[in-house]
Amino acid sequence: MSVLTLTHIGGPTTLLEVEGWRILTDPTFDAPGRTYRFGWGTSSRKLTGPAIPAADIGPIDAVLLTHDHHADNLDDAGRLLLPAAGAVVTTASGANRLGRGTVGLRPWDTTLLRAAGRPDITVTATPARHGPAGSRPVVGDVVGFALTWPGQEHGALWISGDTVLYDPLRTLPQRVAVGTAVLHLGRVGFPLTGPLAYTMSGADAVELVRLLRIPTVVPVHYEGWSHFRQGRASVLAALAEAPDVASRFRWTAAGEPLSLVV
């Protein structure tokens, strides 16, 4: 049995502490108020700052970066943390941009986190598509991450990354048994692209959790930026129609640790 302590810092940024490891996902620590350009006429304003300042995070053994090219997943203050991290794992294209020994993975590639006195953690990149069909050349590469280590009881710890619900996610159970999912939601959209969605909605989450039979879900990355179209209230509205799924969601206030048996 392992106990995972998960601290949602804001946006997608989450500190994962398990078996002596301290792992940070998608570091974003800039102050709120700035508008960031995402390219192709899209942008977003950061509305909420981190619950824990970068200076107070402490030592980080690894950073899991679902993608490096959007500031709501890696901002200026987050970039400053990367050189001190023990390992940085991201997309293959992102590793080329970041350099400095960054590990780049394509979907279903794996890498191993190793340290004396701690169990090895296998990190497997999982598929993600940050928008509608055909959008990858515009929005760029994204991956999720499945983490496994000896002693897990309920399956892999999965960070979905910024993705819509599409067929490779529906078939995820053929490759990975997910025990705990950190789901990026928010149904991102932009005025320029009208009704098109670039991340999952609450209804998508319901479908995915049922398909993957995920026992525990921690939602993140659904508030704090102007490009989100669905905040917590919208997700809760979808869950109200699916009590079997709602009971699996664990909501956590930013900055407050949540302990889970994984």
What HEC string does the chain produce?
Answer: CCEEEEEEEECCEEEEEECCEEEEECCCCCCCCCEEEEECCEEEEECCCCCCCHHHCCCCCEEECCCCCCCCCCCHHHHHHHHHCCCEEEEHHHHHHHCCCCEEECCCCEEEECCCCCCCEEEEEEECCCCCCCCHHHHCCCEEEEEECCCCCCCEEEECCCCCCCHHHHCHHHCCCEEEEEEECCCECCHHHCCCCCCCCHHHHHHHHHHHCCCEEEEECCCCECCECCCHHHHHHHHHCCHHHHCCECCCCCCCCEEEEC
Per-residue confidence at 119, pLDDT binned at 50, 70, 90? very high
In the chain, domain spans:
3-252
- Does residue 39 surpass a pLDDT of 90? no
pLDDT per position as a tens digit, 222-256: 999 999 999 999 999 999 999 999 999 999 999 99
Report how far Cα 119 is from the mean position of its chain's Cα atoms: 22
Per-residue confidence at 170, pLDDT binned at 50, 70, 90? very high
pLDDT at 40: 85
- Does residue 152 surpass a pLDDT of 90? yes
pLDDT per position as a tens digit, 62-96: 999 999 999 999 999 999 999 999 999 999 999 99
Average pLDDT, the chain: 97
Section 102-126 average pLDDT = 98
Domain 3-252: assigned CATH number: 3.60.15.10
pLDDT per position as a tens digit, 40-59: 889 999 999 999 999 999 99
- pTM score > 0.75 for this model? yes
232-240 vs 202-212: helix axis angle to the nearest 10?
50
